[in-house]
Amino acid sequence: MAFDRLLNVAKKEFSDHITSRRFVIILGLLLVISAVGAHAGIESYNNLLESYNQQLQHVQDIDVSGPYTGWMPEKPSILLILSPMMSYMTTLGAVLAIAIGFDLVSKEKETRSLKSLLSHPVYRDEIINGKALGGIAALGFAMVLALAISLAILLLFSIVPTLTEFAAILIFGAVTLGFLLAYFAIALMMSTIAKESGNALIYTMVIFFAVSTLLPVLGAVAGEALAGDRPEPPQTAPLPKEVIWVDNGGYSSTSVSQSVVYEGKAVEVDPAWQQYEDDMRAYSERRMLISSVTNLFSPQMNYFTAAMAVTNPRIATVIHSPLDSMPAETPGLAEALSQVWMNIAALIVFPSAFFAATYVKFMRMDIR
């Protein structure tokens, strides 16, 4: 395989993509929605920032000897502005990726131009790899434009991201590109298998529906069915799970499984409730494990999980907690990404597997 011939094929495919009417229409719609989503995200961010400033002013007025001493509200991150982008990327972005790849090879079969192309001094591996690289470059071009518009709108509203936030934005773009490549790889493989572009599009849409909608539902059902019976709470009345200290004889504990101090006396929690809490945690972990393993085969779920860890790590931590417990502090970017490394790996493995299958099929394809 000669690198120069590979690049020539990739350049031709990239040029064909960005000049095609289909790509321009979908890209234009994607950019318009990106701008609208960024504007809506900025409005939500400004509302949260105003609420933060009010809470900060309220904290300054609180008595230093009161129960909230030392508590500080959390300042909202500008990464929340990217949250609206996730919703339309899972639909319109996937449509763009499918539109690029579903007829890359099947169109060549229908016009019988593939045979004449192979008559030139170019090999099969250079053709299929060049087509894949050209499609990847087109998707990368679309992703860069969408992020550039979002950043431009941020700067227009005088919102300047820090270096850490800018790095998170780039990671968000990389995760989004990985998601787009998943459906591009599916479309390219179906284009190689099918004899006609119409059939390739139908096959791709069937897989799109299966992995985006049907698979997460089956994962939730499997989690409920295989996790066992849900633990039943004991009949005795529980003590409060979260209590706040009161000056005249108040509670001072924050967990069911701990002792509670009431009017200076330690009161032990019912052991039955301690066992129920342990059983419920184990049941939730089993259900989450089964559902998470199933969702690894869904690009939508992997993208949502990974993107949420970047844009809203606090909520992402809650989602991964068996009992949906809110963390005391917002985890950093590295910590949040470490919790979703399997989903990020799945976004890499998923398109790679389809690209490999496409390569093998194209190399063995009978072209007459």
Mean pLDDT of 127-148: 90
Assess whether pLDDT exceeds 80 at residue 267: no
What is the per-residue pLDDT for 195? 84
Question: Residue 356 above 90 pLDDT?
Answer: yes
For residue 255, name the pLDDT band (cuts at 50, 70, 90).
Answer: very low
DSSP H stretches of helix in the chain: 3-19, 21-60, 83-88, 94-101, 106-110, 113-118, 124-156, 163-193, 197-209, 215-226, 271-295, 299-311, 313-319, 333-339, 341-364
113-136 mean pLDDT: 80
141-154 average pLDDT score:
88
Work out the percent of the chain whose per-residue pLDDT is above 70. Answer: 78
pLDDT score recorded for residue 318? 65
Q: What is residue 68's predicted lDDT score, i.e. its pLDDT?
A: 47
pLDDT (mean) for 213-220: 84
Flag whether the pTM goes above 0.75.
yes
pLDDT the model gives residue 276: 74
Tell me the pLDDT tens digit for each residue of 37-92.
787 788 877 787 777 777 777 666 554 455 444 445 566 777 777 777 787 788 88
DSSP per-residue letters across 293-330: HHHTT-HHHHHHHHHHHHH-HHHHHHHTSTT-PPPSSP
Write the pLDDT tens digit of every residue in 11-34. Answer: 888 998 888 888 888 888 888 888
Residue 72 has what DSSP assignment?
A: -
**pLDDT per residue as tens digits for the range 294-339:** 888 889 889 988 888 888 777 766 666 655 555 556 667 788 788 8
C-beta neighbour count of 100 within 10 angstroms: 27
Mean pLDDT of the chain: 78
Identify the pLDDT of residue 325: 53
pLDDT of 236 higher than 70: no
Give alpha helix (H) positions in 61-162. Answer: 83-88, 94-101, 106-110, 113-118, 124-156
Which one is predicted more confidently, 284 or 170?
170
261 forms beta bridges with 266
Of residues 280 and 260, more confidence is placed in 280
68 backbone dihedrals φ, ψ, rounded to 5°: -100, 15
